[in-house]
Amino acid sequence: MGMRALAKLSIKKKLIAIQFVTACLVLLLASAAFVANDLRSFRSALVTSLSSTAQLMSESSTSALIFLDAESATETLAILHLESHVVNACTYDAAGDVFATYSKPGFESFTCPPPQADDHFFGDDYLSLFRGTVRGADRVGTIYLRSDLSQFREKVYEYAILAAAVLVAGLLLSLSLALMLQRAISRPVLNLVAATRNVSQTGDYERRVLA
């Protein structure tokens, strides 16, 4: 609502509009903060879950890497078919060469990236994670996992629906309260305006202002 449009409204409607707009802003900020905080927590949970899977793959691949048993390493990665969100995985040997791979059906065209230090990266559609395979003080290889973000997109959609529902309900409630409370707020103001106008017209300064 522009300032010119607001200026044309009566005092009663101005009070309702101000209360409604204030409620809108408060609800929007609160909803945005709630959604942002929960999505941040959910992203962290995704990383923790993928890290746990990578740790399991790393521990299970140690012997295969030490004894250069590529078949065993491939069988270990094949267990990832139980993790529906992991679409690709790579095992690298100590020299950084690809030792074994896994691809979920439909994702076979994937090419393993160069191995990196332990870290994770969020892309537009995937979460990528590197974890070293260590035996004692020696790094004998690296595990790479690539997970889709369908869980995250579903959560964003759920939060958007929830936030919209809360926002609509809150705005309806605030509008109802504004309509009920405006009488208590606007009546004294309107009476004062009427008394002031009457005094200016009649010069009767003894006229009382009704509460």
User: Into how many domains does the chain fold?
Assistant: 1
Residue 135 lies in a domain: yes
139 DSSP β-pair partners? 134
SS3 148: strand
d(CA 51, CA 12): 59
Positions in the chain whose pLDDT score sits under 70: 1-12, 15, 181-195, 197-211
Let me know: does 138 contact 132? Beta carbons within 8 Å.
Answer: no
137 assigned to some structural domain: yes
Inside any domain, residue 70 = yes
Domain of 65, CATH number, reads: 3.30.450.20
**Range(s) of the domain holding residue 87:** 49-155
Q: Note the pLDDT of residue 209.
A: 46
Q: Which residue, among 146, 132, 131, 130, has the nearest Cα to 83 in the 3D structure?
A: 146
Per-chain mean pLDDT for the chain: 83
Rounded to 10 degrees, the C-alpha dihedral 134/140/142/143 comes to -70
- Whether 79 is in a domain gets the answer yes
Q: Does 133 map to a domain?
A: yes
CA distances from 171 to 15, 28, 85, 140, 182 (A): 15, 10, 38, 59, 16
For the record, the structure tokens of 120 come out as 């994770």
Determine which helix (DSSP H) or strand (DSSP E) holds 206, and give its type and residue range. Answer: none
pLDDT at 147: 96
Is residue 140 one of the residues assigned to a domain? yes
Report the C-alpha gap between 73 and 63 in whole angstroms.
9
CA distance 161 to 41: 18
Does some domain include residue 139? yes
Q: How confident is the model at residue 153, as a pLDDT?
A: 79
In a domain, 202, yes or no: no
